[in-house]
Amino acid sequence: MRIAVFPGQGSQSPGFLSPWLEREGTVDRLEQFSEWSGVDLVAAGTEWDADRIRDTQVAQPLIVAASLLSWSSLPERESVSGVAGHSVGEFAAAAAAGILSEEDALRLVGIRGRAMAEAAAAEETGMSAVIGGDEASVVARLEELGLTPANYNGGGQLVAAGALDALAALSSEPPSGTRVIPLQVAGAFHTRYMSPAVETLRAAASRVEAFDPRLIIWSNRDGSAVSSGSTFVDLLVDQVASPVRWDLCMTSFASVGVSGIVELSPAGTLTGLAKRALRGIPAVAVKTPEDLQAAGSLLGDAADA
């Protein structure tokens, strides 16, 4: 079983799209993606600085666009049997699986990003990664502080979200055996603070056509495989204010006998988690076009296995 995974917010970096623009047709595709999403993705991916591309209404379509560019360039793509995305990466996964057209995926991501930015501006909130420690003890500490475990990333990593003063208290008195790292994000994503964005996205999603997936696709909700396209779109909408269970997605990968993982651009985060949680499973992060050959070789080798 070969699986392609699509990263979420925070995986972008200044100028990361520049090598991709050297490929024929990429600028034209990005300009089309820009029109659909409402963001100048060429400038965002090549010229804008870290602060500007950290803005959630920029970061979300930028990441999905990069993932779709690299997915369409992936050698041996027909060897991929399943896909999954982390948070906003689920939109790229949905397009790769044929649930959404690229146009609908980019339009919805543009709306999602703007709605989440507006929700984040309503209150001063944030997110922090909690590395290590006993998960039950970490979650108990978050509950004490009124924080939400927003991302269960597996590999000993959990992301807490909520009010800034509560996150400061978490950093000053972290759970035993943990490190707390504040994240440079605009708000408490995947929590109740994003509820207004859910309704905005739900209204937009009701106007798109969803098709049943051509590939196995796993949901962030609980790591389960979803066979209905309309059900997956409903889950995409609800996920805006619900925790990301990437740990359960990786458990599902193991249960189906994953033999290789390729992470699409802007890659690195999910392959890093996989190396800790799925030890021994070969993985390739497609960061630049130079990584496509290694990804194709992994998929080809896995197909022959």
The confidence score (pLDDT) of residue 302 equals 55
Sites in the chain below the pLDDT cut of 70 = 302-305
Catalytic residues: 87, 190
CB atoms within 10 A of CB 72: 15
Rounded CA-CA distance 120/105 in Å is 22
In terms of residues, how long is the chain? Answer: 305
The confidence score (pLDDT) of residue 305 equals 46
| Full set of structural domains in the chain with CATH | 2-121+191-304 (3.40.366.10), 122-182 (3.30.70.250)
Rounded CA-CA distance 182/159 in Å is 9
The confidence score (pLDDT) of residue 149 equals 96
Q: What contacts 24+ positions apart, CB below 8 Å, involve 29-36?
A: 29/69, 30/65, 30/69, 33/61, 33/65, 33/68, 33/102, 33/106, 36/102, 36/103, 36/106, 36/107, 36/110
